[in-house]
Structure 1
Amino acid sequence: MAARGKHRRTRTSPLTRGVVTAGTGVAALALPVLGATTASAAQPAKAPAAAQAAAQVKSITYTAVKGDTLYGIADKYDTPGGWRQLYKDNRKAVGDNPRLIHPGLELTVRTAKKASTSRKTADKASTSTKKAAQSVAKATQASAKTYANNLDGWIRESLDIMAQKGIPGSYDGIYRNVMRESSGNPLAINNWDSNAAAGTPSKGLLQTIDPTFQAYHVDGTSWDPYNPVANITAACNYAAARYGSIDNVFGAY
């Protein structure tokens, strides 16, 4: 019996671990063993990015019109790869000359504009919503505005209505004529002049007769000729038509 210890197993060198031999019939060829983790370590990180990029690129059918160029179409739709990729995708339809695009030619266009277009649409919608909200706010403020129940308040309310209707006139022009015609009394009436004799006495702050008040009545105001605001706006509307503005009236009108 051979002595113990004489047939020890040969140690494997760190440099030869993980090596297998492929027999060739003549000599042994050493091939390194690649672990599964080494071969696929970098793949998981790349796959999602590639899939995401592919998902963002869509293909559409575009019909060429007069003046179109491959460059212009590719630029319009953000075609990945630019006009060269567009030409490559449509080589059969375009032919050998990429500079010549016939109107009516149908092209398959890769586009990455969907996301950006959605953002622009959302931005426009947001802007429209803001503008609508601002308009509502202004209208609410206007309707909520209050005026003093006196000559100053009546004139200021009338001026706001006149501004909305495009009727010219100033505070001073209205005040001056009111003081001359009625001394600021909204119930004033003239029962002694020719109008009164004809059955149409002058009434209110600016002494309008009924036919004139009705003909130049301003929508949104009272039909009562004694109503201060209705009387002022109707009289200013009449003065604008006849004299250009109540500011141009300095006597009986």
Structure 2
Amino acid sequence: MSVSSISGRLRRLNKTQKLSAAGISAVAAAALSLSLVPGNADAETEPQAISAAPVVFTSAAGAPQAKTIQSSLIEQHSTAEQLVKAADAAKAKKAHAVKEKAEAVSKAKAKKAKKAKAKKAAAKRGHQAASRSESRTPAFSNNLDGWIKESLAIMKSKGIPGTYDGLHRNIIRESSGNPKAINDWDVNAVNGVPSKGLLQIIKPTFDAYHVGGTPHDQYDPVANITASANYAADKYGSIDNVDSAY
């Protein structure tokens, strides 16, 4: 039963109770009047002396029935009050449940938003770190100057000695700065292992002194420079100490 239905019944019940209570009061008053008036009241014309004997009040014929009705109405009223209280309690419980659900949904949304924000912030930090790393990584030009500078950076990380001047000087003497240069006339060429690249290194020497992190290709400028500098460091202490064929 809905709260509105119960409230309507209560309004109707209260109205009935008021009418019943008024009727009961009228019946009681009439009964009391009848009990106080003597049976021969109409025949008497003179005042009668008040008897000293106690007056016995007798109940009207409808008094027991009125009490029963009143008791029933009181019981119905009590039951209606209990129903209203139960309906109010159910309504309050439902409202509390709705409030708790709304709070739970709100907390879940806030938690999700916080997690997404943290993820976004982490991604942003990672991107910024990568950008800083890229900005710290020097960009080398694809020419002799860039090849030498990149080779020096790798040599430094590997502990291979050598300077820009030492590398540049030997490169110009050996190949004139041409990374595709090849010697096809000296003894190495005759033996089938011609010198190749910027610092004119033969294949067996290149393979033995190749520096990790560079292409395994004799014609690659950086790979050729670093392998030759590594060989010169082992045989002469540094490429700077080389002034002729080595």
Short-chain TM bin: 0.3 to 0.5
Q: Computing the radius of gyration over CA atoms, which structure comes out larger, 1 or 2?
A: 2
TM-score (norm 1): 0.45
- Larger helix proportion, structure 1 or 2? 2
TM-score (norm 2): 0.46
